[in-house]
Structure 1
Amino acid sequence: MNYYPFHIGDFRSGTANMSRLQRAIYRDLLDICYDTEQPLPLDMEELHYAVGAQSDEERRIVEHLLRFKFIKRDDGYHHEVCEKVIAEYHAKADIAKANGKLGGRPPKAKANPQKPSGLSVGTGSEPDRNPIATGSQANQEPITNNQEPELKVKPTVEGKPPTKRRSTDTPDGSLAVFEYWQQVMGHHNAKLDAKRVKAIKGRLKDGYSVEDLCRAVDGCKYDPFSQGANERQTVYDDIELICRDGPKVDKFRRIAGNGPPSGRSSNAQQTINNLQAYLEQHREN
């Protein structure tokens, strides 16, 4: 990214207890996240060099900020706000790209050549006292941003009402894959961060379809090792891992082709059926 919104009030309130040097280094760390669209590296020497922290005091400040302002994970130090902004940026870029392929935004309606500029049709010396006759809607209740169109699909197997389509849905289907993964794995509060966006979009660009990636999600759900039956008793079911590369997708698709493991309860099978219905809903739209 070469641009990102900077909210002065949020930054000032979040750095009120910092010194000028601490605020400057914190801003540099954020700039690195936005510029690379990646988490900060775990290697302290590499990070100190990237931010220009040369003195002992500056290096201590970097380590202090990482502790209180970032989240340490296996692949680096993450900043939730940065990743949210990056994900929204990519979603908007995809929509703009799709509009460009369709010829751009529709042209504005031309002004009525029979009326002077700035006057609406029907303007006369005396106002019409019947607003309904003139089409005036001054008293009409405004439409708010919360009035999103309903997703017109059939109800799921359980008969639950369909959810609303999110306004950030992207033409390439990456959001549909992410939402399907949320439903299958039960990660309803997970966020579509930059790392997950990159993995899903990468496989879609490789030629995998939305259905292929959803089948890979099914395969990960069927795989005992990925669901915790391993030496570490750790679940490995993140969508970024499933879509990390082509071999991963192919592996989980093969597992999905074998169907659920034997011994699955009827309730679990019903859940799978519901998820398949969810995929059919996205396919129809």
Structure 2
Amino acid sequence: MHYYQFNIADYQSHTKHLTPIEDICYRRLLDWQYLHEKPIPNDMKSMCRLLVLKDYQEDVEQILNEFFVLTDDGWINQRAFDEIQSYIFQEENNQLREDGEKNRIRRHREERKKLFADLREAGVVPKWDILMGPLRELHKQHCNKTKTGNVDTCNAPVTEQERACNAPAMAITNNQEPLTNNHKPEDITHTVYPSQQSREPTPAASVCLELKKIGIIDLNPAHPKLLMLIEAGATIDEFMHAARTAKDKGKGFAYVLGIVKSQRAEAAQAKGKVLQGTIPKQKKWKKFSGFDYVNGGDGYGNKREQCDDDSRTIEGHLVNDIP
């Protein structure tokens, strides 16, 4: 033990009669027992040397006889002994609790890793900080059920008229004759197992996969706004463009959805108000330069012309007529 509680009032009430040397001897004996968590050896000369009290052997012996009890293992202070036992018991409990917590965390991480791997294989990219409850539900929704049309395979309960997933398809006959090898090839049907079926990612999953490549990590393919935008006709390019903007600003998935929604809302409001065809070119006006005019130019970078009536013109207009 490197630390123990010290009750000053309790200590003074039991040691106020001690001399300063006896007080030092008592404190050093207590510290040694707490530190080593065992009885003090019954070897007075050796102990006095360890405690740097060789010249005070009688004082050490007096303290031992007054505050300690001699046992087969050595001298013990009952109060210190009880504290040490309590500490050891607590340490053992803490170790057991820590070991149990480590095992629980390990199992939790292994399960989480497996759920994420299964969902990615199914084309679903869950949010990185999703809780275990929603993650298990998402796994149950996308991975525990492989549907063909409206009929569940593999995970659906097997009835008399259904065959097991791993059993080959065989016709049921009413006779008990043994099967022979004269079956026609067309009589044998081929069972398509779920693992052989192609798994195409959903539109939402495809969007999330592309956003992840750009660097958006807090993805949720089941987000209601994402599903709404896809249903409204939003394309992957729209989401990717918004994702680059969000990435530059340090924003996440929700910001991407907000950009796409705002852009589509603005486009809907501007429908019918947008100019059709090529935008007409607008005349560019140059800024008049007094410096150019003073130095013989027309103020716009061109050479200034002189008229017969001493009137100066700029691009066919009188200087005085220029507004």
Q: TM-score, normalised by structure 2?
A: 0.31
Q: Which has the higher contact order (CA 8 A, sep 6+)?
A: 1
Question: Which structure has the larger Rg?
Answer: 2
